[in-house]
Amino acid sequence: MDFSISDEQQQLRDAVRRFCDGEYPLERRGQRVTADRRSKRWGMMAELGLTGLTVSEACGGSAQGMVEQMGVLEELGRALSPEPYLSTAVISASLIQALGTAKQQDQWLAPIAMGQLRVALALDEPQARYAYQGAGMACHLTREGEGYRLSGEKSLVLDGPDADAFVVAAQHEGILQLLVVPANAAGLTRIAGTTLDAREIATLRFDEVAISADSLLAEGEAAERALQAVRDRASAALCAESVGAMTELVEQTREFLKVRQQFGKPLGRFQALQHRLVDMVIALEQSRSMSAVAAMAVDEAESARRTRLVAAARVTVGKAARLIAKEAIQMHGAMGMTDECQIGHYVKRLMVAERLFGDISYQLETFEKSTAAAA
Amino acid sequence: MRLEFTPEEEAFRQEVRAFVEAELDPAIKAKVERGLRLEKADYVAWYTKLYEKGWITPGWPEDHGGPGWTPIQKYLFDEETLLGGAPRIIASGINMLGPVLIAFGTPEQKEKYLPAIRRSESWWAQGFSEPGAGSDLASMRTTAVREGNHYIVNGHKIWTSYAHFCDKLFCLVKTDKDAKPQEGISFLLMDLGTPGIEVRPIKLYEGGNDLNEVFLDNVRVPVENLVGEENKGWTYAKYLLGHERTGIAGIGASKQQLLRVKRLLAEQGLAADLHIQRRVTELEIELLALEATGLRILGENQIFSAPGAEASMLKVRGTELRQAIFELLYEVAGPAAIPFSEEAMFLEGEDPLIGDDERASLAANYLDSRKLSIYGGTNEVQRNVTAQMLLRG
């Protein structure tokens, strides 16, 4: 096992940090921005090569693994970037890369790498909680001539309002299907909303949407395997993003303890706070380690072991995020609960990250199941 | 970054594992795995096997008999030996004094002491703590006054681990009473047979007797037994305490005890108890995270929020985790933790009420595990040190 970070990985991270420092000034982080601005920033990220990191070189990307993207995700999390890096560049790109035909890859991946296309994952359904329903999901396809009709509702589609297309999970006669649906398809209604941390999210209603046979990416077992793999990949990405956000929370809290004076001395002179700051740092460092393990597992491990290690990372990061968030608020006092203070925006980002693809309890169960499966 | 160890590292792991399986006396292994008492002869038997193999001093440089391993190899060696049920290296000569003598000792001291340490012929006790100086080591009061070619040492050391196994003592003494707390301290070597030295065992609450008091009454120590320079002892003590970085988290020991939890759960028919199982899962994940951090420290280009405090953080997390595992073991024992007899702490002994049931030792193991957050600098001191790094400037 080797945690060494190469110079190339370091340079990529540094480039993203420079972009974030310029694009996301501290006082603006956590605020909603206009659709126009979001679209402009996505173009800038494409110029940096970020939107094509998962995409193959044949389609204009650079075919990097999760290990290479870990530093990118940490920096985006640290700057509270609301851009659809996770949903488009990590999740959708990897699914189409893994499952798509040459024609589908050309059609979808090349524009993703160029920053011309944003694609979101439509997986969750109302009432499903985290137990994703697979072949039992309500969204379904029915045969019509050479193609299909798609009906049903998809919820919690992160970055859905800006998406140009969706990777949709649905079932056809009890068999899981993955397909790509353009956002402007007739019969698709999109209801836009915002997340707890002021990002864009949508519910999608499909009413007899016409689906051509060449929109299908995979079905049955291949689709199930690909979904599990992409959930693990997304989880590893969420770990890295959360490590970035936690790093900033710890950093801001540490600075605050140095400068805030009460009872005639800096808060940092009170041992009750010193020891708790150390526990925050320990939790952060454990998370940083496990986030790296998750990224390596996604790049290298066979499926049961990959799922097990990623779940362990999600538990570690999830618990650390709770601790660090609560302590950061407490140590900032009432100021920590204001909208003006940055702390709350970071806390909310971590809360949303914890719930995407399964909370701590869900991850504990996943760890136990995949441990049994790997044995 | 790479998830797998290299083939060479895996081969090394297998080599260590095979060695432990072939060479470790099953009776000693049983004692370690069941948390029973070990005699000095048990340690010496295992250390002698390691010596013969050339593996007794992984932390020493090659020209002093170290095996020349990479940090990863040292890590794997620790993990595999502990996981295989081998006794820990408790000999302070190997862990502490050896590295100090190699760095600061005279050629004569090295020649006289190092080979005997490697062969387990001489055992060294560590005379640091005093009744008035626990975590606050610098406030120690044992004195050494120069008289011709000798120091005359007077004082009282306490919490001296395994002194009853030892024939030698390395000791911090005050050689300049007027200096600031950390400045007038020297590092002296003594023979425990010197007139004026008395070792008294301290009986602990779970029946253990690993700790001792050492009384020093006008003990005459030759000046050639001074390590390094007079009044520089604090520097050497700090070097000694900071020397061992990878072993401090006790990852192999935690893994071994977590296997014990699982074995006992199965034996006690508790495998289906979801409440206990979930706690095992959480500890297993915490152990994975600790292990990853231990290995990450060895990697290049790492980000750490408190550079320089890595060892303190590993000590805190590692000991808290081991304590949590011992607490869970105590839980697994259920009402069988109520009867206690000291006989049950020996391999051949048994409790008059519950016989040789392994659960008879679990309450004592739990009580013993409380030492982990106290020794080697209490966890509070480790947090103080880390906070100072975080908040200075």
Instruction: Mark whether B206 and B337 lie in a shared domain.
Output: no
For the cut 60, the answer to whether the pLDDT of residue B245 exceeds it is no
Residue B250: band (very low, low, confident or very high) from pLDDT cuts 50, 70, 90:
confident
Neighbours of A36 (CB within 10 A): 8
Residue-level pLDDT at B145:
97
pLDDT tens string A59-81: 999 999 999 999 999 999 999 99
Interface size A-B, in CB pairs within 8 Å, comes to 130
**Domain assignment present for B117:** no
**Domain assignment present for B238:** no
**Domain assignment present for B370:** yes
Please give, rounded to a whole number of angstroms, the shortest distance from the CA of B184 to a CA of chain A: 28
Picking from B1, B286, B288, the nearest residue to A67 by CB comes out as B1
Instruction: Mark whether B222 and B250 lie in a shared domain.
Output: no
Residue-level pLDDT at B181:
83
Give chain B's domain count. Answer: 3
How far is A179 from A223, CA to CA, in rounded Å? 10
Closest CA to A88 of A45, A150, A129: A45
Contacting residues of A for B387, CB less than 8 Å apart: 268, 271, 274-275, 277-278
Residue B93 main-chain phi, psi, to 5 deg: -65, -40
Average pLDDT over residues B173-182: 91
Minimum Cα–Cα distance from B73: chain A residue: A1
Given the residues B33, B213, B244, B327, select the one marked as catalytic: B244
Residue-level pLDDT at B129:
94
Instruction: Mark whether B331 and B289 lie in a shared domain.
Output: yes
Single pTM value for the model: 0.95
Is residue B244 annotated as a catalytic residue, yes or no? Answer: yes
Residue-level pLDDT at B243:
67
Closest CA to A80 of A186, A167, A177, A198: A198
How far is A84 from A38, CA to CA, in rounded Å? 9
Residue B247: band (very low, low, confident or very high) from pLDDT cuts 50, 70, 90:
low
For the cut 90, the answer to whether the pLDDT of residue B307 exceeds it is no
End residue of a domain, out of B89, B112, B134? B89
How far is B375 from B169, CA to CA, in rounded Å? 18
Contacting residues of A for B290, CB less than 8 Å apart: 286
Test mutation, A1, A7, A366, chain B, max B CBs within 10 A: A1
Instruction: Judge whether B303 is closer than 8 Å to chain A, CB to CB.
Output: yes
Instruction: Mark whether B333 and B277 lie in a shared domain.
Output: yes
Instruction: Mark whether B262 and B325 lie in a shared domain.
Output: yes
Instruction: Mark whether B265 and B384 lie in a shared domain.
Output: yes
Q: What is the CATH number of the domain that holds B147?
A: 2.40.110.10
What ipTM did this prediction achieve? 0.95
**Domain assignment present for B385:** yes
Q: What is the CATH number of the domain that holds B284?
A: 1.20.140.10
Instruction: Judge whether B107 is closer than 8 Å to chain A, CB to CB.
Output: no
- Domains, in order of start, for chain A: 7-117 (1.10.540.10), 120-219 (2.40.110.10), 222-374 (1.20.140.10)
For the cut 90, the answer to whether the pLDDT of residue B116 exceeds it is yes
Please give, rounded to a whole number of angstroms, the shortest distance from the CA of B3 to a CA of chain A: 5
A33 versus B13: which is more confidently predicted?
B13
Instruction: Mark whether B207 and B271 lie in a shared domain.
Output: no
Instruction: Mark whether B224 and B254 lie in a shared domain.
Output: no
Instruction: Mark whether B210 and B325 lie in a shared domain.
Output: no
Residue-level pLDDT at B58:
93
Residue-level pLDDT at B244:
57
**Domain assignment present for B21:** yes
pLDDT tens string B22-64: 999 999 999 999 999 999 999 999 999 999 999 999 999 999 9
For the ranges A340-349, B168-177, B189-198, B299-308, which has the lowest average pLDDT?
Answer: B299-308
Instruction: Mark whether B265 and B381 lie in a shared domain.
Output: yes
Instruction: Mark whether B378 and B337 lie in a shared domain.
Output: yes
Task: Supply the range of the domain harboring residue B206.
Answer: 124-232
Please give, rounded to a whole number of angstroms, the shortest distance from the CA of A162 to a CA of chain B: 35
Please give, rounded to a whole number of angstroms, the shortest distance from the CA of B279 to a CA of chain A: 10
Instruction: Mark whether B30 and B137 lie in a shared domain.
Output: no
Residue by residue, pLDDT tens for chain A (375 residues) are 899 999 999 999 999 999 999 999 999 999 998 999 999 999 999 999 999 999 999 999 999 999 999 999 999 999 999 999 999 999 999 999 999 999 999 999 999 999 999 999 999 998 888 766 677 899 999 999 999 999 999 999 999 999 999 999 999 999 999 999 999 999 999 999 999 999 999 999 999 999 999 999 999 999 999 999 999 999 999 999 999 999 999 999 999 999 999 999 999 999 999 999 999 999 999 999 999 999 999 999 999 999 999 999 999 999 999 999 999 999 999 999 999 999 999 999 999 999 999 999 999 999 999 999 887
Contacting residues of B for A7, CB less than 8 Å apart: 301
End residue of a domain, out of B185, B210, B232? B232
Distance spanning both ends of chain A, measured CA to CA: 20
How far is B129 from B135, CA to CA, in rounded Å? 8
